[in-house]
Chains A and B, each alone.
Chain A
Amino acid sequence: MAQQNDSQTINDVRQQALVEYFSKKVGRRVFILTESFPFMFIGKIINVVDDSIELFVQTTSVPALEGKTWFVHTDAIEVFYIETGVDAKIPDLKD
C-alpha cells in the first residue's frame, strides 16, 4: 500500500496507489476509457513508467492506431478494468 508522508496530499497518495496497482498488473489485459481522443484503449500492460502506463494496444476506436505501443497517463484514465484471470474477460474484438 502506498505510504503517505507528510509532504504528500491525499491526491498524491491515491495517484501513487493507482500507479502501483498498475505496476503489479504488468502482463495483463486492460481496458481504459479516456475523455481525450481516441477514447478507448484495449491492450496489454507492458510496463509502468513514472505515472504513465506503457501498453501494447490491440484495439482503440481507430484501427490505424492499433498494434502499437502507447503510453497513457494515469491521471487521464476515467475508468478501466484489468483482467484478473478469474473474473470476467475483456472480449476479444474482431472486425
Chain B
Amino acid sequence: MLRTLTALALLGLVAAPATAQTYPDRPITLVAPFPPGGVADQVGRPLGAAMEKLLKQPVVLQNKPGAGGAVGMASVAQSRPDGYTLLVALSSISIIPEADKLFNRQPAYTMDQLAPVALLSADPTVMVVKADSPWKTVKDFVEDAKKRPGQIAYASSGVYGTLHVAMEMFAVAADIKLRHVPFSGGGPAVTALLGNNVQALASGPGPVLAQIKAGTMRPLAGWGDKRIPALPDVPTFKELGYKDVEFYIWAGLFAPKGTPAPAINTLREATKKAVDDPDFKKTMENQGSPISYLDAPEFQKFWDVDAARLAVAVKKIGKVE
C-alpha cells in the first residue's frame, strides 16, 4: 500500500511544466503576508474560492506573516514568476520600502519586483477602542493622551504596517504621543485589544465589524474621505478637523514581475469575473468591505498615486522605534 501511495504521489508531482495554453494546470498559491484574521485573509480566501470555480484548479491561501508583511511580500517577490505564486497585499506594500529607505538599509523587496493584477477592495481604516473604555469620542481620547504622553498603547499590524502608519498619521496631526505595540497582523492586533493588552487600534472595518455590532468595541472615527457605509454614525477624522488624516487599507492581487503575459491575462480575466461572483459579493458585503475593483492598468495608476502619497506620509512621521 505504501508503495502504491508513493507512486501516486510521485505522479502528482512530476506534472508537465506549465505552458501558456495550459495555464493553470496545477494548484495556485495566494500568499497573504499576515496571520489569519486580518484584511488580506478576509479578502484573499473568498477571492480564492471564486477564482477556483473559474480556473478549475485549487486556489489555496497561505499565510506567511512577519515584519509587517515584509516576510510574505519578499517571498513572493523572489518566487518563480510562473503564475502559480501570487500575493494578496495591502497598502503597506508601498510603505515598507519607504521605511527601508528611511533607515538606509537593504530593502526586503522593491515594488518593481511585483506586477499588479487587480485592486479588490479599498476601505478606510477605523479607530476602535474597547466598549468599556472611558473614551466616547476622538476629543476624549486626544485630551487624555495629551495628559499622559506615551502612556496609551495601541496595537498594529507591524512596524510600518498599514495599521501603524494610519495611527501615527493621526497622532502627528493631533500632536499626541502614543505607545506602539506591533503584532504580526490585523488578526492578533484585534485579539490584543479585546484582551485589554492595548487600549486602541486602527483597523480595516472587516476584522472589527462583528465586534462593533456585538457591542464589545466602540468605533471613534474613520480615516476615509467619506463615512464607512457599514458604520454611518461614525465621523471621519476630516469632519473632526484633522485635514490630512486620510488612510485606506486597500487589498490587491499581485504577481511576481516577469510572470508570462498569457498567465497574467488569464488571472486578470478570472479576477474580473470573480468580483461579479454572487458569493464573493455577498461575503465581502457581510464583512463590511465592499468591492472596489480596478483592472491591472488602472490599478497600476492608482498604486503609483497612492505610493507617492504614502511616501510623503512616511517621511512626515519619520523614524519611529
Does B associate with A?
A: no
